[in-house]
C-alpha cells in the first residue's frame, strides 16, 4: 500500500487539469500589478518609444561634466527599467499559452525595440572609455548621485579591450534584432508546435507526452511504463534531430559572432567575462566532477540496489527509490512545508515568502500550451517577483517550489536594498539562494520524519538532487563547451553529430562501459530536450551555486548566526560587486575546490545513512 501525503482531503487537485479556464484564480498569476491590461501596456510602450530618442542628445557629450554623465546614465537606467517591465508583461503572458499569437507578437515587438534601444545607447561605453578611472572618481566626487553607477562604470573600464568603437558597438547592438531567433524558435517549436507522442500505460490510460506529462510520468513506479515513456518521448524528438541540430548550431554561431565582435578567444571566455568569472572556475568544475565519478557511481549502484533491478538503465534514474512509498503533496501542504523549513532564516524572510503565496505571485499548475518547467522572474523592479510552476504533486515539485522561492526572495531583497542599476545579480550567484532553500527543505523533512522507508525516499531524493544539479549539469556543461570548441575550430555540427558527442559524454559519466548504468541509445537525443543550451553557458552555475549553498547552509543549520547574517547580506547585495567577491564576503571562495569537496562529503554522508538503514532491514 502506498503512502500518500496530502494535507487537506477536500482540496481539489488541479495538476491534471489542462483547461486553464477551470483552474481557480488563486492558483494563477496576477499580472495586473505590472500593467492593468493590454491597453495600459500599449500606452506605456508608446511613451517608451517616444522617449527613446532622448538618448541621442547626450551623444558626444558624456565626458563634458559629471552632471551630463549622470543625466545620460539616469535616463538610460529609467528607460531600461521600463523596457524590462514591458518585456516581462508580454513574455510572461506568452508563457501562459505559447500558442497565443497576440502575446507572442507583443514579445517580438519588444525584442525589436530592445535592439533599437541598444543601438541608440551604443555610444555610451565607447565615450566612457575615453576617460580613465581618476576622471570617473573625480566625477563621482563632484556629483554624488553618480555613486550608484560606480561599480558599473568601473566594470566598463575593466572591459575596455572588448569594447568596440561607436560604429562597432552599434553593429553589435543591431545584431540583437536576430540574436534571439534560435532560442525563440526552440521555445515555440518544443512547447507549442511539437507533435508530442501519445502512449497507453499499463492500466489502459492514454497520455499525450507533452513536456509536463513527460516530467510527471518519467518517474512512474511501473518500469515498463517508464521505458515506454522514455522511448516514445525521445523517439519523437529523434525524428526531428535535423531541425533541432540546425537550430542549436545557429545558436552556437550567434555566440561565435559576439565572441569575435567582442575580441574574446573563445565563447566560454566571452560568456564568463560578464561576471568577471575566471575560465579556470568552469574548467576546474568539470575536472572536479570527472575526478569524483566514483562517488557518483556509488550513488548509481545504491539506486540499482534500492530499485532491486538486475541492470540499471537511464530510464530508471527518476523512479521512486523505495517501493510502496509514493510521496505526494497537494499544493497547500507543499506551501506549509516550505514555509516551516525556512525558519532558520528568520521572521522577515518567512513573512515575505507568505506574501508570495497569498498575493498571487505564483502560477501553479500546468495547462495546455503553458511553457514547460519552472522559473522565477524578479526583473520588474517596482513590483515583485513572479514564479511559474508546472506543479504535479511530487516531492520534486515541492523542492522546485522552494527552489524558485529562493530566487524570488533573492530578487525581492536585492530590489528592496539596491538601487535599480545594481539590483540585478549575476547568474553565477543566482542559484545559491534557490539551492540553499532546497537544503533547508530537506533538513526540515528529515527532522520531522522518522519512518525508515520515508527517510530512505527523502535521502534518495537528496542524492537525486545532487545528481541533477551537480553531475548532470556539469555533464551538460562539458557537452556545451565541447560543441562550442568544435565550432570555433571550424567543424560543422549536425543533429547526428550532437547526438554522437552527447552519447560519448553521457556514457562516461554514467559508467556505461563499466556496467554501472546503461545509457540506452534513445538517450543520444536528450540534448534536444534541454532549453538551457540556448542560455550561453548557463548550466555550470547550477553546480557552482549548489556547492556554495551546501557549504553555507551547513553553517546556518548548525546555528551559526554570523553566517546567517552574511547570507542575508548576500541576498540583498544584487549586482553591487562581482559574484566571486560577494560569495567571499559570505564566507565561500569559489576559486578553490573546497565547496565542491564539502559537497562530496555531504553526499557520502547521505549514502552512509542509506546503507545503515538498509543494513538494519536485512
CA distances from 155 to 262, 273, 337, 411 (A): 15, 10, 42, 22
Give every CB contact of residue 491 below 8 A, 6+ residues apart in sequence: none
Contact in structure between 344 and 556 (CB atoms under 8 Å): yes
Q: What is the pLDDT of residue 14?
A: 62
Q: What is the pLDDT of residue 130?
A: 92
Q: What is the pLDDT of residue 16?
A: 60
Contact in structure between 423 and 415 (CB atoms under 8 Å): yes
Q: What is the pLDDT of residue 8?
A: 30
Q: What is the pLDDT of residue 11?
A: 40
| Paired residues of 387 in beta bridges | 362, 376
* Lookup: cell for 3: 503512502
Contact in structure between 95 and 138 (CB atoms under 8 Å): no
Catalytic option among 404, 438, 480, 526: 404
The answer to whether the Cα torsion of 32, 390, 296, 229 is positive or negative is negative
Give every CB contact of residue 598 below 8 A, 6+ residues apart in sequence: 547, 550, 551, 554
Low-confidence ranges of the chain (pLDDT < 70): 1-18, 618
The alpha carbon of 442 is separated from its chain's Cα centroid by a whole number of angstroms, namely 20
Q: For residues 19 and 143, what is the distance between their CA atoms, to the nearest angstrom? A: 56
| CB atoms inside a 10 Å sphere around CB 491 | 10
Q: For residues 604 and 223, what is the distance between their CA atoms, to the nearest angstrom? A: 27
Q: Using a CB cutoff of 8 Å and minimum separation of 24, what contacts does 259-262 make?
A: 259/488, 261/164, 261/168, 261/171, 261/172, 261/175, 262/162, 262/163, 262/164, 262/172
Contact in structure between 510 and 314 (CB atoms under 8 Å): yes
**Which run of H or of E encompasses 435?**
helix 427-448
Angle CA 150–62–121, to nearest 5: 85
| Paired residues of 200 in beta bridges | 206
**Which run of H or of E encompasses 200?**
strand 198-200
**Which run of H or of E encompasses 388?**
strand 386-388
Three-state SS letters, 369-381? CCCCCCEEECCCC
Q: For residues 129 and 63, what is the distance between their CA atoms, to the nearest angstrom? A: 10
Residue 362 DSSP SS3: strand
* Lookup: cell for 408: 524570488
Phi then psi dihedrals of residue 392, to 5 deg: -115, 0
Q: For residues 530 and 214, what is the distance between their CA atoms, to the nearest angstrom? A: 13
Q: What is the pLDDT of residue 428?
A: 85
Longest Cα separation, the chain: 80
Q: For residues 553 and 545, what is the distance between their CA atoms, to the nearest angstrom? A: 12
Domain 34-179 has CATH 1.20.140.70: yes
Phi then psi dihedrals of residue 231, to 5 deg: -65, -40
Pairing label, strands 198-200, 206-208: antiparallel
Q: For residues 164 and 170, what is the distance between their CA atoms, to the nearest angstrom? A: 9
Answer yes or no: 404 catalytic: yes
HSE (side-chain half, CA atoms, 13 Å) at 553? 26
Amino acid at each position: 500500500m502506498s503512502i500518500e501525503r496530502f494535507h487537506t482531503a477536500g482540496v481539489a487537485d488541479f495538476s491534471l487539469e489542462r483547461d486553464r479556464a477551470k483552474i481557480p484564480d488563486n492558483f494563477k498569476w496576477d499580472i495586473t500589478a505590472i500593467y492593468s491590461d493590454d491597453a495600459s501596456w500599449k500606452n506605456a510602450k508608446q511613451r517608451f518609444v517616444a522617449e527613446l530618442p532622448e538618448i541621442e542628445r547626450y551623444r558626444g557629450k558624456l565626458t563634458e561634466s559629471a552632471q551630463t554623465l549622470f543625466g545620460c546614465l539616469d535616463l538610460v537606467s529609467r528607460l531600461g527599467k521600463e523596457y524590462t517591465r514591458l518585456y516581462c508583461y508580454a513574455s510572461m503572458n506568452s508563457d501562459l499559452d505559447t500558442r497565443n499569437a497576440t502575446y507572442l507578437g507583443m514579445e517580438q515587438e519588444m525584442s525589436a525595440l530592445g535592439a533599437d534601444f541598444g543601438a541608440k545607447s551604443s555610444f555610451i561605453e565607447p565615450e566612457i572609455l575615453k576617460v580613465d578611472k581618476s576622471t570617473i572618481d573625480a566625477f563621482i566626487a563632484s556629483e554624488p548621485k553618480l555613486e550608484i553607477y560606480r561599480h558599473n562604470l568601473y566594470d566598463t573600464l575593466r572591459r575596455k579591450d572588448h569594447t568596440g568603437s561607436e560604429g562597432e558597438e552599434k553593429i553589435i547592438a543591431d545584431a540583437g534584432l536576430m540574436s534571439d531567433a534560435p532560442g525563440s524558435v526552440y521555445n515555440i517549436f518544443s512547447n507549442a508546435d511539437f507533435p508530442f507522442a501519445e502512449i497507453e500505460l499499463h492500466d489502459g490510460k492514454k497520455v499525450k507526452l507533452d513536456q509536463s506529462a513527460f516530467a510527471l510520468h518519467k518517474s512512474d513506479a511501473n518500469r515498463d511504463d517508464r521505458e515506454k515513456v522514455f522511448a516514445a518521448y525521445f523517439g519523437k524528438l529523434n525524428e526531428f534531430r535535423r531541425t533541432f541540430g540546425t537550430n542549436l548550431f545557429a545558436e552556437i554561431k550567434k555566440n561565435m559572432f559576439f565572441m569575435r565582435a567582442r575580441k574574446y578567444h573563445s565563447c566560454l571566455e566571452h560568456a564568463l567575462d560578464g561576471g568577471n568569472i575566471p575560465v579556470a572556475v568552469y574548467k576546474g568544475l568539470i575536472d572536479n566532477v570527472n575526478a569524483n565519478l566514483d562517488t557518483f557511481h556509488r550513488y548509481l549502484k545504491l539506486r540499482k540496489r534500492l530499485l532491486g533491478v538486475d541492470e540499471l538503465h537511464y530510464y530508471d534514474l527518476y523512479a521512486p527509490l523505495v517501493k510502496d512509498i509514493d510521496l505526494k503533496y497537494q499544493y497547500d501542504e507543499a506551501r506549509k512545508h516550505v514555509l516551516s523549513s525556512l525558519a532558520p532564516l528568520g521572521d522577515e524572510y518567512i513573512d515575505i515568502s507568505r506574501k508570495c503565496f497569498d498575493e498571487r505571485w505564483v502560477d501553479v499548475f500546468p495547462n495546455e500550451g503553458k511553457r514547460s518547467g519552472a522559473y522565477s522572474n524578479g526583473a520588474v523592479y517596482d513590483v515583485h517577483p513572479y514564479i511559474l510552476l508546472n506543479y504535479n504533486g511530487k516531492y520534486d515539485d515541492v523542492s522546485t517550489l522552494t527552489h524558485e522561492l529562493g530566487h524570488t526572495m533573492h530578487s525581492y531583497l536585492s530590489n528592496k536594498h539596491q538601487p535599480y542599476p545594481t539590483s540585478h545579480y549575476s547568474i553565477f550567484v543566482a542559484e545559491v539562494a534557490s539551492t540553499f532553500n532546497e537544503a533547508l527543505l530537506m533538513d526540515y523533512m528529515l527532522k520531522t520524519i522518522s519512518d525508515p522507508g520515508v527517510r530512505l525516499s527523502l535521502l534518495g531524493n537528496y542524492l537525486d538532487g545532487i545528481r541533477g544539479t551537480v553531475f548532470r549539469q556539469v555533464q551538460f556543461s562539458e557537452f556545451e563547451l565541447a560543441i562550442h570548441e568544435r565550432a570555433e575550430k571550424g567543424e560543422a555540427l549536425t543533429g547526428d553529430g550532437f547526438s554522437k558527442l552527447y552519447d560519448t559524454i553521457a556514457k562516461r559519466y554514467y559508467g556505461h562501459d563499466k556496467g554501472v548504468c546503461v545509457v540506452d541509445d534513445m538517450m543520444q537525443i536528450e540534448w534536444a530536450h534541454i532549453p538551457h543550451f540556448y542560455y550561453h553557458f548557463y548550466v555550470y552555475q547550477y553546480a557552482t551555486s549548489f556547492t556554495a549553498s551546501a557549504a553555507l547552509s551547513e553553517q546556518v543549520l548548525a546555528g551559526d548566526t554570523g553566517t546567517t547574517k552574511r547570507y542575508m547580506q548576500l541576498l540583498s547585495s544584487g549586482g553591487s560587486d562581482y559574484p566571486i567577491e560577494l560569495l567571499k564576503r559570505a564566507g565561500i571562495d569559489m576559486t578553490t575546490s573546497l565547496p565542491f569537496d564539502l559537497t562530496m562529503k555531504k553526499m557520502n554522508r547521505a549514502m552512509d545513512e542509506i546503507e545503515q538503514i538498509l543494513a538494519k532491514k536485512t
